[in-house]
Structure formats: structure tokens, C-alpha cells
Amino acid sequence: MGGLKATINNPEVSDEAKESAKERLNEMAESGFGRKEATSDLNDNHVVRGHKATLHNDRVSDGAKAHAREMIDAAGVTEDSQRDEHENHVLGVYKGTLKNTNVSESAKEHAREVLDEHDAL
């Protein structure tokens, strides 16, 4: 798969070869080749995070940043979805606080208050 992706992005490769590589990658994606169902969401999240890092890297070209923005948009990632994901993560930490025997009672009370505010208990 990596060789096909490299072909697509190589300026020295003909348009015919690039198109052939794209078709082959699409065929592989449709057949599920190279995907582990249990980790596909995790992998997708890592890819999106990599593209986000590209947007904030001063040493990256404008073209690479434009491509990263396209990939983030294609993945359907929005500010709202990121905020929701972050909030779910934070609430999960508060839930873990309630079960942690090494946490003080005042911290557990604070966690309960936050979870109550978000209807997450």
C-alpha cells in the first residue's frame, strides 16, 4: 500500500501511473485489504491528528497544509465533533475518579458535581 501511495504523490511519475495506483488502492480499500476492524477507528484518529499537526507546523508548505485540510474535511471532522470527543474523554476521566480508591473524597465529590452538571451519572 505504501508504494502505491508514494506513486500517487511522486511528481516524477506519469499521470497514467498515478491513476493506476489510485484505482488499485481503491480496489484494496473496498476489499478491506490492510484494515484491522478493531483498530480502524484508532488508526483514523491518528491520521487525522497527524493532519492537524501539519496545519500548525510552520515548516510545512502551503500545499501540504491545503492537502491536510482536505483530508480532515473528508474525514468529516468538525470543531463540534472534536469538542464532543474531548468532552466525552474528560467525563470518562471523572467517572474513573469515582472508582479510584487512591482519590480523596473531596475529589470524588467534585467529580460527581461535574458529572451531574453534564447528566453523565
Q: What is the pLDDT of residues 73-116, one digit of tens each?
A: 888 877 666 667 788 889 999 999 999 999 999 999 999 999 99
Confidence at residue 38, expressed as pLDDT on a 0 to 100 scale:
41
- What's the CA gap between 4 and 116, in Å, rounded? 50
Q: What is the pLDDT of residue 43?
A: 62
pLDDT score, position 93 = 94
pLDDT at res. 33: 64
Determine contact, residues 77/48, Cβ cutoff 8 Å. yes
CA distance 67 to 75: 12
User: What pLDDT is stored for residue 35 in this prediction?
Assistant: 55
The pLDDT of residue 23: 87
Beta carbons of 97 and 107 less than 8 angstroms apart:
yes
Chain position carrying cell 506519469? 14
Cell numbers 500545499 label which residue?
63
Reported as a single tens digit per residue, the pLDDT across 24-52 is 888 877 776 655 554 455 567 788 888 88
d(CA 53, CA 46) in angstroms, rounded, equals: 10
- The b-or-e profile of 91-120 (16+ CB within 10 A means b, else e) is beebbebeeeeeeeeeeeeebeebbeeeee
